Amino acid sequence: MSRVKRGIATKKRHKRLLKHTKGFWGQRKNIFKRAKETLLRAWAFAFKGRKLKKRDMRALFITRISAAAKSNGLSYSRLIHGLNKANISLNRKMLSQLAIFDSKAFSAIVNKAKVS
C-alpha cells in the first residue's frame, strides 16, 4: 500500500485556525495547541454573549416602557395586562421605540390599555 503524506492538509487546517487568533496575547496567537484552546473558549463566550445581549436589550426595553407608562399613570405590569386584554400585540422593542420617539402614540396605546 502506498504511503500517504498529510502535511499539506494539516498545515492548511493550522493556518486557518491561526488566522482567527490574530491579535491574541503571547503563545495564544501562534502556537497551535494554545491557539485552539483559546479560540474554542472565545467562540463559547461569543455564543453566550449573543444570548446575553438579547436578555440585556429586553431588560432595557422594559425599563423604558415602565418609565413611560408611569408618566402616563400606569404601572408596567398593568400596561402589559391591559394590552393583552385589548388584543394589542406589540413587542417590547416597538413599545420602547414608541415611548421614546412618539409619546402621543404611546399615550394612546396606554389609554386603550387602561380602558380594557
Nearest CA among 82, 49, 79 for reference residue 66: 79
Q: Which CATH number belongs to the domain containing residue 74 in this structure?
A: 1.10.1900.20
Q: How many structural domains is the chain composed of?
A: 1
Reported as a pLDDT band with limits 50, 70 and 90, residue 27 is very high
Do residues 90 and 58 lie in contact, with contact meaning Cβ atoms separated by under 8 Å?
A: no
User: In this prediction, what percent of the chain has a pLDDT beyond 90?
Assistant: 88
- Separation between Cα atoms, residue 79 and residue 109, nearest integer Å: 9
Instruction: Please report whether residue 1 resides in a domain.
Output: no
Name the residue range of residue 101's domain. Answer: 7-115
Those residues with Cβ within 8 angstroms of residue 115's Cβ, 6 or more apart along the chain or in another chain: 82, 86
pLDDT in tens, 65-77: 999 999 999 999 9
Angle, CA of 56, 92 and 105, to the nearest 5°: 135
